[in-house]
Structure 1
Amino acid sequence: MEPTPTTSATPVVRAATVTTTAAPAVVTTAPQSRTGGGVIHAPGDDVTLADLKAIFGSKVSTSPRVAEGLPSLNRAMRQAGITTPERKAAFLSTLAYESTFDYALQEAGQTATYRGRGYIQLTGDFNYGPAGSYLGINLLGNPNLAASLDYSAPIAIWYWTVRRPHSNAAADNFDMGLISRYVGYRASGTQDLLRCDGFKRAYQHFSGKPAPANTKCYRY
């Protein structure tokens, strides 16, 4: 943001003598910088492609679908209250390792009808059915909708807030281990740590300060 320029007040005329009253000087505070450039996010600020690349680097898919999907993803995040640095960090680090931010990603090498799809890699009829019922669509009959621009983000939010309703609270408590348990990927301490490292980078990027030393990284 550029500093607001100072201006001079209207000249004051007294007894044929012209004097000029200067306006008070405007004091500006330089915006705080953050890792990756720019300024610290305020609650509700949209996540940009530049943010994702600065935080997650090569974990961001090169597909144009990443940029295409960001408006719907940001809208869904706001609706779900994922607006603080810690919530953004937990949610985005999860998506980085689930789908590389490609809303149409499908689980590689799998042919099952209800294989992983979309931002959160929705898997199994036990998830497709309830998610579809919640959103008012027939996901069991049309599973590819889980990897569509219209529904990939809402499904990810359904999983975060309905299937796992304490996800935001876990993020508030800097408990990435619990987030990882909620997601339910195959047990891996290495994967736990990678996701937690992503969370820490994202938190510093959005808040301008390191994550707390007691951040929980491993599932329990």
Structure 2
Amino acid sequence: MSRLRAVLVALAMVVAGGLVAIIPATAASAAACTAAWQASTVYWGGNQASRNGRNYQAKWWTQGEAPPGTTGVWQDLGPCDGGGGNPGNPGGGCNAPNWAAGTFYAAGTVVRYTNGQYYIAEHDNPGYDPIISTWYWEPYTCGGGGPTHPPPTGGFVVSEAQFNQMFPGRNSFYTYSGLVAALSAYPAFAKTGSTTVQRQEAAAFLANVHHETGGLVHIVEQNTANYPHYCDPNQPYGCPAGQAAYYGRGPIQLSWNFNYNAAGNALGLPLLTNPWLVQNDAAVAWKTGIWYWMTQNGPGTMTAHNAMVNGAGFGQTIRSINGSIECNGGNPGQVQSRVTRYQQFVGILGVPAGNNLYC
């Protein structure tokens, strides 16, 4: 009698005798704790650390924020047994499972694809192909380096997948193609200095844009009561489009007749007589945002572009946009909102945030 048949016969005898043997499953052991979190250590998206008997995984670049944190940067992976060095942590050598179509993968999961390369899930997905569904997956470097973020096509340091990750709920008006098309107006934007500086500038611009528009949701200013206030009749050209025509529009919420006039002159667009172009053409909208970023000091002492490429830091970009309304203690909550978003975005782009984050 074969071994399998003997087992089946024995099982039938037990059941027939009115007894069912229940064999307890081996209890699953808790994951071993990864290396303990250190305040001085830089953690990139996908890196793991343990604290107070639990493992955590960073969603983007972070330093100094103890897990579980307050900004959402840390994903709680559950309790650990303190054994040290989790063999399932791909940051320590990529002991990751093979990707399988149709398998659910939570954000932060690392897999080995059929080409031998590793990928990390940037968003929950039901087993999408890592080299096709690039919004859901990013290439991953073993050894704790985090997502590799290869240079995107089109010459911009932010890929479309990264842009979508930054603005998952954006208005369809704010297209990535419109942003890329706008870059030609100011070739120095996100193209000055080292790759790190370029990505920091792009992250700073997009973080401020996120704040100004509620995540690229709003195209025009929401408080319509303010609309008539943006006409300065003392300008020699007046307000030819009408007194209430120069309300905030676009990613930086361009407002006032004199700003529409200056931006239009710089960009070669009839914005003074047709300010609605900013809310009807995505490339024009992006160009006005980049125009302000590159050329206007605002209430600050330098342009936001110069602040980022010359080392003044992200805090000075806030000052150039809103000055004492937020800076110098004017509204620390709004400043923190911008800083937190900037830290998230540099994490997505794989660079540190740099110094002087506040104003």
TM-score by length of 2: 0.45
More helix by share: 1
More strand by share: 2
Gaps of 5+ in 1: 5-29
2:159 and 2:172 map into 1 onto residues whose CA distance is 13
Q: Which amino acid aligns with 2:358?
A: C
Q: Which residue of 2 aligns with 1:159?
A: 292
Q: Which residue of 2 aligns with 1:101?
A: 216
- The within-5 A match list for 1:94-133 is 94-99=208-213, 100-102=215-217, 105-110=219-224, 111-112=227-228, 113-133=245-265
- The within-5 A match list for 1:1-220 is 2=115, 32=141, 38-42=147-151, 44-45=155-156, 47-48=158-159, 50-55=161-166, 60-61=169-170, 63-66=171-174, 69-77=175-183, 79-83=187-191, 84-99=198-213, 100-102=215-217, 105-110=219-224, 111-112=227-228, 113-147=245-279, 148-164=281-297, 166-172=303-309, 173=311, 175-184=313-322, 186-187=325-326, 188-207=331-350, 209-212=351-354, 214-218=355-359
1:146 and 1:182 map into 2 onto residues whose CA distance is 21
Residues 221 and 248 of structure 2 are in contact (CA less than 8 Å); yes or no, is this contact kept in structure 1? yes
| Displacement of 1:199 | 1.0
Percentage identity across paired residues of the two chains: 25
Relative contact order (alpha carbons < 8 A, sep ≥ 6): 1 or 2 greater? 1
- After superposition, the CA RMSD in angstroms is 3.0
Secondary structure in 2 matching 1:65: coil
| Displacement of 1:71 | 1.1
1:126 and 1:184 map into 2 onto residues whose CA distance is 17
Residues 107 and 121 of structure 1 are in contact (CA less than 8 Å); yes or no, is this contact kept in structure 2? yes
1:198 and 1:86 map into 2 onto residues whose CA distance is 12
2:176 and 2:206 map into 1 onto residues whose CA distance is 12
| Displacement of 1:108 | 0.1
**Closer/same/farther in 2, CA of residues 45 and 133 from structure 1, 3 Å limit:** closer
Secondary structure in 2 matching 1:143: coil
**Closer/same/farther in 2, CA of residues 116 and 166 from structure 1, 3 Å limit:** same
| Displacement of 1:180 | 0.8
Deviations 1:91-147 (A, max 9, x none): 110111112235x70000223321110111001112111011112222121111122
Larger deviation, residues 169-178 vs 117-126: 169-178
Residues 260 and 272 of structure 2 are in contact (CA less than 8 Å); yes or no, is this contact kept in structure 1? yes
**Closer/same/farther in 2, CA of residues 107 and 115 from structure 1, 3 Å limit:** same
**Closer/same/farther in 2, CA of residues 198 and 114 from structure 1, 3 Å limit:** same
Residues 80 and 157 of structure 1 are in contact (CA less than 8 Å); yes or no, is this contact kept in structure 2? no
Larger deviation, residues 165-174 vs 87-96: 165-174
TM-score by length of 1: 0.69
